[in-house]
Amino acid sequence: MTALPPACGLFHTSGSTEAAVRHAAARARALGFRALCVTDPALAGAAEGLEVWLDLRMDQDSPADAGSPLDPRFSGLHRPAAGRDAQHWLEHWEARLIGLRGIAGVLCRLPEWLTDSSLRSLAAAVRGAQPELQLAAMVPRPRAGLEGFSFVAPAMPWVDALADAGRWLSGPPLLALAEVPGGRRLAGRFGNRPTAAHALSRAIRLAAFSGAAWLLPEGLEHGALHRGGLATDGAAPRLALEPVVMAANEAAQPGGARLLSAPHAPVVLLRDTGAGRALVLANPSLSRPQLVPAGQVLGLLPAPGTLPAGTLDAEGRLRLSPAEVRILPIHDSAPVRQPLRDGAAERATEMPRIAIEAVSPAVDDGRFAVKRAVGQEVTVTADVFTDGHTRIAVRLLWRAADEADWHELPMKALPNDVYTATFVPERIGRHFYTVEAWVDVFASFDNEITKKHAAGIDISLERREGRALLQAAAGRMGEHAGHLAQVLDAEQDAPPEQAVALFTSAETRAAMLAADPRPFRERREPLPLDVERREAGFASWYEIFPRSQTDDPARHGTFRDVIGQLPRVRDMGFDVLYFTPIHPIGKKNRKGRNNTLTPGPDDVGSPYAIGSEAGGHDALHPELGTIEDFRALVAAAKEHRLELALDFAIQCSPDHPWLKEHPGWFDYRPDGSIRYAENPPKKYEDIVNVDFYKPDAMPALWLALRDAVLFWVKEGVTLFRVDNPHTKPLPFWEWMIAEVRARAPEAVFLSEAFTRPKVMYRLAKVGYSQSYTYFTWRNEAWELRQYLEELNQAPVSDFFRPHFFVNTPDINPEFLQTSGRPGHLIRAALAATLSGLWGVYNGFELCEATPVKPGKEEYLDSEKYEIKVWDYDRPGNIVPEITALNGIRRENPALQTHLGVTFLPSGNDKVLAYLKRTPDGSNAVLVLVSMDPHAPVDCWYEVPHWLLGAPAGGPILAENLLSGGEESWTGTHRHHRFDPHSMLPYAIWRLRAAV
């Protein structure tokens, strides 16, 4: 086969006269072509200096046996004639092609019925006689038998053949047709000229850049709609694509190509020409731009390369305009070679022989502590392995931060080199754990001698090796080597079976373990663990404004009044009584009722505007009482088995003493004022914020805030709800919480951060024990299921504890505003059973949910700005239901955490069904909750036999935790109906498999 010609572009003319061909030749030269394809060999002389190709319709002379039946493979064709007639076709075209003179190449429009052997015969005969003649096989689909042809030309516009580009490019070099000569014009596909111009430009450039050669039928360069010749002289062309054609000819180079892109994606072809490699990229869309990722451009290159500078955008993508075709050079990139350093081999011999990987649990690979409650199991897993079949010993090590020695536990081997062990911390505070492993030489010996003896193999040499191991161990043990000495004496004359028994006895293994020098010992860097008290993960919170614990709105409530409310709170089953801020309230910019900016003289203001002449964060609002009154309240709460929680809000009223004592802790505006706090759309004109990074504030402000918390710790408070911690620096929280816990490990911090998930999670990582969540706005069954499943997955489950508050003074959920008593029951049941931590703001139990305006989450007559007197016995309250829920939580460990939940099919998207189960399976609680507070709901829920250790459909004992009684369930599904107007919108059972 001859080399490809230097000219890789062919201009095709269907002109039938010398004048027409001369005109076409002039046109071809002007467009940058050096070859002209004609339909009549007699007109070749009119090409005037251009290489001449001939377009032959060889498919129109296909002899067939007219008497034979139609060939089902080819529409309208009879089976090819056999024998003499088929041979006649070959002889006819061989003679005609061999007889051509002055022709550089032939576009052979081949009939589809030709066999592979016929094609090979034709090409071989012609090449044998005319080796310089180029043959291009024009066929409708990729096929075999074309090995002898110079080119393959798909019988369609190349832009239409791209779906099968990989096969077209795998055969002979490609001759890409911008359009099929004599076929339907591409311009006729499009209803408007701009679209036609985009499409034809793409077809031209794609054909020119994709193959070893390309062909342009005359008229395509001006958007001809009809078959035939060039535009009439003097007539305005329909489209002016000549610059596109000339640029394509200038850029095109002969060479091979291969497809890199996937079907239906932007086209990416790799060309390899004499000038180097290049990528051809094409946007298949005529109307939309395409962004091609760098991975699709460079990641598929068979050899590494780089693109010209500036090709990719900031996100590593290449932008293709609609219908754009671009050719980009690829520059070879040299591999990265690292410097060789002396002594590398010696250092390699000292590297760990044992790999310890994927130690779990771990939070950010040990950057932050895993969280557990005291008495809660910590199950550690790790991937541990070494080379070959060498046996290894793996141990879990753990200790409290104030202990010097490690506790050690053997780790159990699981499949795939996974090891596991569990420990239970008994003290609150910081702990550490890690994994250690070493080569267990004796275990390898034990395994080898046991297997060989069982297989009947002589173990004389193994016995000698075993004696050497025992002698070395005895030497290390000194006077404690009594058992090993006895084994050495007895083994000398023992038969093989007895010798194996001596070597592998439990006593021998224990002695060898005690004497093990632990060769190749490797230990992972210890991982931190924060062990907190039980209340960090399980508690029911009740929130009040202490000043509203009064029977007269004109009389400010006191701590002594709060003491009178303790029995009521205790009897509802709550564990924690949480106060909004109890510090002095500023007067400057004080808010009036319903958050107005025009307070009256008797308005009490917002307790979050902290600070006045009476003090700041370590002082009490005078009208609440004295420090002695507060201490009496703390003591009374303990007597009622209640714990107090305080609100730690790092914000100041303009009257806070710090503004005078430490002006350098604040950031001033150009006019000397301080910007008030905002949380758009909410505005807090009565509050200003400190600046943690002002020069005067570092570290004085940080220390003052820590000391404020420690002040209340000394007063017996170790539960703190922190207001908007996400608006304060994360390093401050990590430092401050650690400082407090170093002095009071029992301290628990609740984050009130309704913010982005990653920020919420980071706050938990830096030390917060628990966090408010998106539960408040998750009202659909699928939303809650999705959210709880996220919280139950590691690593989130190892550091984040969700606190499900059903409402807050700031958040009156729209669901509660419109759902009445059933809605409040629904949210109470969900919060109390889905999380170990749940809370209500005073008034929820009374179904108080009147908004300041429809659609707003603020309460009408909000308690944040006034004293409210509550009638806790008013009709329609849900106090008995809350009391029952808290009692059920206390009796069932499965409900004392958000973990261990499995959601079950209910057959109705308005019913959430789930099983809460302890890790050991000893306690399992099934909960059904209707999510519809307005209408009756039916469901068929699945009974979770597989989680209870019972066969499918087998008997399950179900104890109704709401109405009492126990019954036996059989079958895989059960029916339940909820009617919010006549019954509870939830059901709770304790389940166990019937023995």
Binding residues: 591, 651, 686, 724, 864-865
Maximal CA-CA distance, the chain: 122
Instruction: Label residues 127-159 b or e (16+ Cβ within 10 Å = b).
Output: beebeebbbbbbbeebbebbebbbbbbbbbbbb
Measured in degrees and rounded to the nearest 5, phi and psi for residue 476 equal -75, -30
Pick from 870, 803, 873, 829: nearest CA to 571: 873
Strand order in the sheet with 51-56: 151-154, 134-139, 105-109, 51-56, 35-38, 9-12, 213-217, 175-177
**Catalytic choice (647, 723, 866, 932):** 723
Q: Whose structure tokens read 């806790």?
A: 872
Residue 228, Ramachandran bin (φ over 0: left; ψ between -120 and 50: alpha; else beta): left
Measured in degrees and rounded to the nearest 5, phi and psi for residue 459 equal -115, 25
User: Can you point out the beta strands (E) in 307-362?
Assistant: 317-320, 325-332, 355-360
**Catalytic choice (575, 752, 848, 866):** 752
Q: How many CB atoms lie within 10 A of CB 206?
A: 27
Measured in degrees and rounded to the nearest 5, phi and psi for residue 269 equal -115, 145
Half-sphere exposure of 596 (CA within 13 A, CB side): 11
d(Cα 943, Cα 662) in Å, to the nearest integer? 64
Q: How many CB atoms lie within 10 A of CB 700?
A: 14
First to last CA, the chain: 85
Residue 437 to residues 404, 440, 715, Cα–Cα distance (Å)? 20, 9, 47
As annotated, the binding site for alpha-maltose 1-phosphate includes: 591, 651, 686, 724, 864-865
Residue 806 to residues 164, 232, 801, Cα–Cα distance (Å)? 60, 82, 16
Measured in degrees and rounded to the nearest 5, phi and psi for residue 851 equal -85, 160
520 and 388 in contact (C-beta within 8 Å)? no
Tell me which H or E stretch contains 382: strand 378-385
Omega cis (within 30) before 172:
no
Measured in degrees and rounded to the nearest 5, phi and psi for residue 326 equal -130, 140
Pick from 684, 681, 619: nearest CA to 651: 684
541 beta partners = 576, 839
d(Cα 243, Cα 249) in Å, to the nearest integer? 10
Pick from 725, 656, 650, 658: nearest CA to 689: 650
The first and second tokens of residue 872, run together, are 């806790």
CA 674-679-683 angle, 5° bins: 60
R_g of the chain computed on alpha carbons: 43
Q: Strand, coil or helix: what is 418?
A: strand
723 is catalytic: yes
Measured in degrees and rounded to the nearest 5, phi and psi for residue 35 equal -140, 145
979 is catalytic: no
Residues 352, 353, 357, 361: what is their CA dihedral angle, to the nearest 10 degrees? -70
Which residues make Cβ contacts (< 8 Å) with residue 875, sequence separation at least 6?
none
Using CB atoms within 10 Å of the CB of residue 99, give its burial: 0 to 12 exposed, 13 to 18 middle, 19+ buried.
Answer: exposed
The first and second tokens of residue 761, run together, are 């999670």
Q: How many CB atoms lie within 10 A of CB 112?
A: 16
Residue 264, Ramachandran bin (φ over 0: left; ψ between -120 and 50: alpha; else beta): left
The first and second tokens of residue 522, run together, are 């490797």
d(Cα 639, Cα 661) in Å, to the nearest integer? 40
Give the residue numbers annotated as catalytic, written as ranges: 723, 752
